[in-house]
Amino acid sequence: MTQEKISGSQLSTVLFILVMATGVLFVPGITARMALQSAWLVPLGLPLLTGLLSLWAIYKLGRRFPAQTVIEYSPLILGKIVGKGVGLLYILFFLITNILVIREFSVFLTFTLLPETPGFVLNIAVVLLAAYIVSQGVEVIARMAQFILPLFVASLSLLLLLSIPEMAPRRLLPFLEGGFQPVVKASLVPSAWYGEIVVLLLILPHLNKPRELPRKGVLALVWITVFLTLDILATLLVFGPYLSGQLTFPFWTLARFVQFHKSFSRLETLVVILWEAGMILKVALLYYAACVGSLQWLRKVSFGWVLGILGGVQILGACKFVGGQIQLAAILEHVFPFFALPFEIGLPLLLLGVARLSKAGRVRDK
């Protein structure tokens, strides 16, 4: 599978969809709850910084260990036992994150379109489909992202445009009420979302020109920030900070709300179906990361087994260990950042630091 190559622009597309697929739905509500009318400032600060820092660490690690994944080079940096442990932790991290994403998918769809469908049906359906996509390799994921991106961006832009008549700038005032503290506090959750670009640790070897990573990665992060900010801004301007904070999916409610000439209304069904495509891809990407990680960690196991077992684990996890919408929201708000950020930024920086000190890996001559 290592000869599969994806291009730099495919990579930015993948990263954009990875973060935005669920971020656009969950982030506005959570940030509005914590930072009120200043929520739109949140993505511009710490989350972007987290993303950039994580990207930088991953890039530097990638330069030191070209064509290797974190599972392969962490034993080289930290020694066999600790390194293997770190590898295992990363696999678990992707697995658990993906279980949450699968549950986000099914909760969101149950909430919006299929109120009577039991969640497990959707969990199973998305895992099966993702398993099929994963079995086709990372190239397929990247190309599918290229197809989905225009639809995704078009639906976002359309909603943003249509919500303009409903906006009222006074809802953003008073500006920065309560200082920066609420903004910083609210940064934690979006940071965890930005940090999901850490899947790069496993797909970087597939990039055909690794030197493009900083440019394409930053490009993706900038576009993510632009759309996430606009997304939060639109919900705040239309619903105001309090209502935005109370709605589970404010942006979806926005889609229900906006209309164009009466005849063109109730867009949420179409929009949800387009977003569903992004979420499927996100599940597939995280699933892929977990699979490739396990494959390299265990060696000598067939891809089919790993795919099947991890799929079963994810279905089971999503059905059994994550409850309904309220519990999921609580997990995302209060647990997920503390669980994810160490993997997304702590460990990459740690690995890089140790590698620099111990001069592990290829040291470039300048």
Partner 1 sequence: MGKELLKKALGWANEKKGSPQERMPQPEEKRPLSTNWDENQKNLREVFSQCADAVFQETSFNADQPLRILLVYLETLTDQAQISQTIIKSLQQGPLELPDEVSVSPATAPEVLQKHVLSACHPQTSADLLELTKLVLGGNIGILIEESPLAVVVPAQGGQARAINEPENEPNIRGPRDGFVESLKTNISLIRRRLRTSRLKVETLEVGLLTKTAVAVCYVEGLAQPEMVEEVRRRLRRIDVDAVLGSGYIEEFIADEAISLFPLVLTTERPDRVTAALLEGRVAILVENSPSTMVVPCTFISLLQASEDYYVTAPFSTFIRLLRFVALNIALLLPAVTVAVFSFHQELVPITLLSTVANTRQDVPLPIFIEVLLMEITFELLREAGLRLPKTIGQAVSTVGGLVIGQAAVEAGYVSPLPVIVVALTAIASFTAPNYIVGTSIRILRFFLLILAAMLGGVGIMLGLMAILAHLTALRSFGIPYLSPFAPLSPADLKDTFVRAPWWAMITRPRLDGVREPQRQDPDQGPQKPEDSGTRKGRQRS
Q: In angstroms, what is the minimal distance from the CB of 117 to partner 1?
A: 7
Closest of 166, 228, 160 to residue 194, by C-alpha: 228
Closest of 306, 317, 318, 6 to residue 135, by C-alpha: 306
**Which CB atom, from 35 or from 277, has the smaller least distance to partner 1?**
277
Give the total of residues touching partner 1 (CB under 8 A): 36
* Sign of the four-CA dihedral 334, 18, 251, 165: positive
Is 154 a residue that touches partner 1 (CB under 8 A)? no
Site string for partner 1, 276-295 (x = CB under 8 A): xx--xx--------------
CA distance 94 to 71: 12
Judged by CB under 8 A, the residue of 99, 272, 322, 332 near partner 1 is: 272
Is 303 a residue that touches partner 1 (CB under 8 A)? yes
Judged by CB under 8 A, the residue of 78, 99, 285, 307 near partner 1 is: 307
CA distance 343 to 347: 5
Judged by CB under 8 A, the residue of 157, 269, 327, 358 near partner 1 is: 269
Count other C-beta atoms under 10 Å from residue 174's C-beta: 10
**Which CB atom, from 40 or from 249, has the smaller least distance to partner 1?**
249
Mutual orientation of helices 8-35 and 181-194 as an angle, nearest 10°?
Answer: 150
Is residue 78 within 8 Å of 300, Cβ to Cβ? no
Amino acid at 250: P
- The token pair at 179 is 């200082």
Q: In angstroms, what is the minimal distance from the CB of 53 to partner 1?
A: 31
Judged by CB under 8 A, the residue of 78, 109, 220, 291 near partner 1 is: 109
Interface stretch with partner 1, choices 73-81, 226-234, 303-311, 321-329 (CB under 8 A) = 303-311
- The token pair at 138 is 């990372």
Is 25 a residue that touches partner 1 (CB under 8 A)? no
CA distance 40 to 183: 9
Is 89 a residue that touches partner 1 (CB under 8 A)? no
Cα dihedral 274, 279, 281, 282 in deg (nearest 10): 150
Is 266 a residue that touches partner 1 (CB under 8 A)? yes
Q: Tell me the HSE value of 173 on the side-chain side, using a 13 A CA sphere.
A: 3
**Which CB atom, from 54 or from 112, has the smaller least distance to partner 1?**
112
**Which CB atom, from 292 or from 307, has the smaller least distance to partner 1?**
307
Count other C-beta atoms under 10 Å from residue 3's C-beta: 7
**Which CB atom, from 41 or from 277, has the smaller least distance to partner 1?**
277
Please report, as residue ranges, which positions from 110 to 149 form the binding site for partner 1 (by CB under 8 A). Answer: 113-114, 117, 121-122, 125-126, 129, 132-133, 135-137, 139-140, 143-144, 146-147
CA distance 150 to 25: 18
- In the complex, the residues that contact partner 1 under the rule CB under 8 A are 7, 10, 109, 113-114, 117, 121-122, 125-126, 129, 132-133, 135-137, 139-140, 143-144, 146-147, 263, 266, 269-270, 272-274, 276-277, 280-281, 303-304, 307
